[in-house]
Structure 1
Amino acid sequence: MIKSVDKALRLLEILSQSDRPMRLRDIAEASELTRSNAFRMLQTLRDLDYVQQTGDGSHYDLTLKIFEIGARKVASNSLVSVAHPVLQALSERVSENVMLSVREGLTSVVIDRIESRAFVRTFAYLGARAPLHAVSGGKVLLAFAPEEIIADMTQNLVRFTDRTITDPDRLAQEIATIRAQGHATAFHEINEAARGVAVPIRSLHGDVVAALSISGPMEELSDALIVRFVAELHDHTAQIERAWSGVNQGVGVSSVPRPSSA
């Protein structure tokens, strides 16, 4: 590992997690770097247009360059391209967030989403990450992941709320249930407000490559509403799979982010 690259990327991650520009001393503390080392790294990132100094120059913030890079990557993804209008159609039928997620290591990543029209919302922004065991889309991706990924996740069951799954045996039971019923639910497991329902999206070869989910506060989420949401999700997932298979017919490899094994 090249340490300077690791340090620079760590600074970008720290800045991305703040909702306002940060002072040098706070960045240095969060990154466990000396102020002089953090300052040199930030100046380099500024010269490369990844970071900008704000106000009187004492605070640092990200520019939109990283967003630009990520947006180009997402725009080139054929799964996102064909799925987006289907997500829009689904959002017209439900009043919650609609999200498309893929697995990267032990996390799920939102690669497309339509925001809820409801007055009270939970914000799962584009690019948001969550541990696989704590959200409905992540659970779907975990249930159909390679066994080594499941084993690694079992060793990393971080608790977020009292309802987060942290017991390996309970996780194994949850995975078995998801595989049997074809959908996953998560109630208040990543935070106290969020509930979600998700189903898998499969490639031409039957591999689970993504998850489609409906999520939000949904305090009135009855069993009957879950049944309705699952039916809606399966119907719209089938539309995505048909459209995506048409795009990739004869291509050989579907254009979707490859799950990492890390």
Structure 2
Amino acid sequence: MDYETIEVAISDGIARITLNRPDRLNSFTRAMHAELREALANLGDARVVILTGAGRAFCAGQDLNDRAVAPGEAVDLGETVEESWNPLIRTLAALPQPVIAKVNGVAAGAGANIALACDIVVAASTAKFIQSFSALGLIPDSGGSWHLPRLVGQARALGLALTGEPLEAQRAADWGLIWKCVGGEWLDSEVDSLAEKLAALPPLGLAAIKQIVRTSWSRSLDEELDLQRDEMRRLGFTDDYREGVAAFLEKRPAKFTGR
């Protein structure tokens, strides 16, 4: 499909989605939300998703001009969150495919929290993560208040959210907020290599890993052990597991079909 606010390319099992409003730092409008929702619902045979931004930013969050609200007028932000941002975060979490955030520049507000909602975040060394909500009297939405303390702990989460200070990518990696920080000249090759690796692995297993890790917060250790048993049983009967074992024993590359 042709889109106005995003670019989508799917090949070799990898879906590359680019937020494409560089003049507005890839900030979101209702149109962009609708197009991204459409793209994520039509990934075809893609086994991995890469989400990035065009130009010098990853995403600056909500385009405040999109609401066309005059200064001093009230606006129902909860409606915007419920209609647009919450469904996006839930979709990223529920997709069976691993989602890689390729953070090429500033990620601010909801834009930062979109990145954190992805499964793996790789950022250029020049990128920054900014929880810019407090300056507007708001809270970190788009999953921010949930992901931040789980990734970096309460003290750092509160520091980031209350002050709104930019967090450089290398420190974000050191804190465990993101998976990796690389030099900007290496960002494309690093993410492409990672996506190709994931696309070649058993998709049922990757989907199970994503689901079990993301939901582990809600279970006790006993419940987790029982679920691990059930998932190992289920996956052990798949064609992909048999192919993986056969390929290992025969010392050849495996060919996984997702069955």
Q: Same fold (TM over 0.5)?
A: no
Q: TM-score, normalised by structure 1?
A: 0.28
Which structure has more helix as a fraction of its residues? 2
